Amino acid sequence: MFLHLGLRLRIFLFFALVALGGIAAIFAGLYVGYLKALSGDLLSAFVQAGTIAAFGILGLAAGVWLLFDEHVAKPIERLSARLRVGAHAGVSGGIDDGAARYLGDLGPAAEAVTRQLSENALDSAGEIALKTEQLRQEMNRLTALLSDIPVAMVLINARHQIVLYDSQSAAVLGQVHTPRLNASIFDYFKRAAIETAWAKLIKTGQEVAFTANGAEGEQDFELRMKPLDQGSGYMLIIDEAHATIEPEAARPLIYDFDLLQLAEGSSADETRLSDLTFVVFDSETTGLLPHKDEIVQLGALRVVRGKIVQGEALDMLVNPMMPIPPGSTRVHGITDAMVVDAAPIDRAVNAFHKFAHDAVIVAHNAPFDMAFMHRHGNRLGLSWDHPVLDTVLASAVLFGASESHTLDALCDRLGVEIPVSQRHSAMGDARATALVLCRMLPMLEARGIATFGNLLAEMRKHGRMLKDLN
């Protein structure tokens, strides 16, 4: 019967219960005090009456608050989170009847709005699909043309960050380190030569030919620097002697022209979430004790401007130099035989450190995975001073601390599917976490959490969750 009451009547009954219960507690205290007063001990009677009334009212208030929290506050929190998922993460689906059953007409009204939005989205989906297919075909043609041109080129913005690279330049950059969109060109070539050529290009406006040493001093590269329109950056053309690649090494064209228009650099705390570069990673280990267990697999990928960059990934098995317990193998499926010829931990940690340079590191329950990195980083002289985003805490900010924040629960809530074969693999879990992150970013910004600093302040309120989890 209570389920069919309106929301206003339901809230009125909460207040009525407080009032009636308070009156009952006072009368109970007075009655007990009266009985005590009959014995002649008036002071004790007053104290006893006041104590009973006070504790009665406190107990009643706590009970009514629990009822209000369970029947009104939590359902409203779940309903608002579900509406934000549909509005900002693009996840279709109806309203959870269980979450809205105590909210009177609010649940059906939210369901009607959600259904109408879904229908409107479906109406325009066909046209969008046609336009997308046309753009995809044009993109494929452009990629094929550039891949066939024997010139390696990289577009760089005025902040010396990579905006575009083609298949040839990917192979050249890969001789130094993994090609990465929005990464600094100084990660690949010595700073002095690039900055000298850039200064000359700005002064003359003419193409500049020069020689640059690789960032790690391994070889020299013959480069040409050409200006882009309106001083927004430059194009680097790499001598074709360095651009020869095998056909199987060809990669798609990787670009984001919006990176040409980014504002001058600022700290991560002051940067909008949508403008940040994230490296999302996961590790599989021999056990759950970071101070003595070891990594057996590492998976990482990059998210730039809210989108996963295809082709920019780190996926490697790691030799832990210790036996992998059968219990751990049952979880991630990695055996001793699979890692006998794998990369040693020092090489894996160094590779990930380079891959994550100048990015915000993201993980689900980040303290666990980062504990391994800090332990080996201290030994290798690597500084892990990257900003860190934990999707457990970001989920608590969006959905409330009372909800489940496991990776499986988040994927279910945000419509992310993890193939069974990839669950509990480092790359599979990293990709799932990255997809979750991409869907949470617009939801966070819609909540007014625009910068990374804003998000950190909100996540700190839930820091205790990670301590309990670990």
Amino acid at 86: G
End position of a domain, from candidates 259, 286, 302: 259
Give pLDDT tens digits for 223-234: 999 998 766 789
pLDDT at 242: 56
- pTM across the whole model: 0.78
Of 312, 278, 282, nearest to 298 (Cα)? Answer: 282
Domain that holds residue 108: 2-117
Q: 87 and 235: one domain? A: no
Tokens of 464: 């205790």
Give me the amino acid identity at 60: L
Long-range contacts of 381-384 (CB under 8 A, 24+ apart): 382/349, 382/350, 382/353, 384/353
Pair (185, 106) in one structural domain: no
Task: Please give the tally of structural domains in the chain.
Answer: 3
pLDDT, one tens digit for every residue, the chain (470 residues): 445 666 677 778 878 888 888 888 888 888 887 777 777 777 777 778 788 888 888 888 888 888 878 877 788 777 777 777 776 776 666 556 666 666 666 666 666 666 666 666 555 656 666 666 666 666 666 566 555 556 788 999 989 999 998 878 888 888 888 899 999 999 999 999 999 999 999 999 899 999 999 888 778 889 999 998 766 789 999 876 555 545 444 556 788 888 887 655 567 888 999 899 999 999 999 999 999 999 999 999 999 999 999 889 999 999 999 999 999 999 999 999 999 999 999 999 999 999 999 899 999 999 999 999 999 999 999 999 999 999 999 999 999 888 899 999 999 999 898 888 888 899 999 999 999 999 999 999 988 999 999 999 999 988 777 776 66
Judge contact between 384 and 360, C-beta under 8 A: no
pLDDT at 330: 94
- Quick one: 247 and 299 in the same domain? no
Q: Determine the pLDDT at residue 402.
A: 82
Helix (H, G, I), strand (E, B) or coil at 243: coil
In the prediction, which pLDDT does 220 show?
86
DSSP helix, strand, coil percent of the chain (3-state; round to 5): 55, 15, 25
Nearest-CA neighbor of 170 among 268, 265, 252?
A: 252
pLDDT value for 144? 60
Same-domain check for residues 273 and 255: no
Residue 125 lies in a domain: no
In a domain, 8, yes or no: yes
**Cα–Cα dist 87/81, whole Å:** 10
Pairing of strands 233-238, 220-227: antiparallel
Check whether residue 203 and residue 319 sit in a common domain: no
Task: Say if residue 396 is in the same domain as residue 287.
Answer: yes
In a domain, 383, yes or no: yes
DSSP for 400-429, please give it: -TTS--SHHHHHHHHT----GGGTTSHHHH
What pLDDT was estimated at residue 26?
85
Please tell me whether residues 278 and 411 are part of one structural domain: yes
Same domain, 277 and 417: yes
CATH number for 337: 3.30.420.10
* 141 within domain boundaries: no
User: Tokens 């939210």 map to which residue?
Assistant: 110
Residue range 129-143, pLDDT digits in tens: 666 666 666 666 656
Q: What pLDDT is recorded for position 247?
A: 46
Q: How far apart are CA 361 and CA 374, in angstroms?
A: 13
* Predicted pLDDT of residue 376: 96
DSSP 214-235: BTTSS-EEEEEEEEPGGGSEEE
Whether 126 is in a domain gets the answer: no
Tokens standing for 179? 């090609």
Among 231, 259, 287, residue at a domain's last position = 259
Whether residues 229 and 272 fall in one domain: no
What is the CATH number for 181? Answer: 3.30.450.20
Q: Do 424 and 380 share a structural domain? A: yes
Q: For residues 130 and 255, what is the distance between their CA atoms, to the nearest angstrom?
A: 22
Tell me whether residue 124 is in a domain.
no
374 in the same domain as 244: no
Residue 338 shares a structural domain with residue 456? yes
Is 440 contained in some domain? yes
Last residue within a domain, chosen from 117, 139, 169: 117
* Residue 143, domain member (yes or no): no
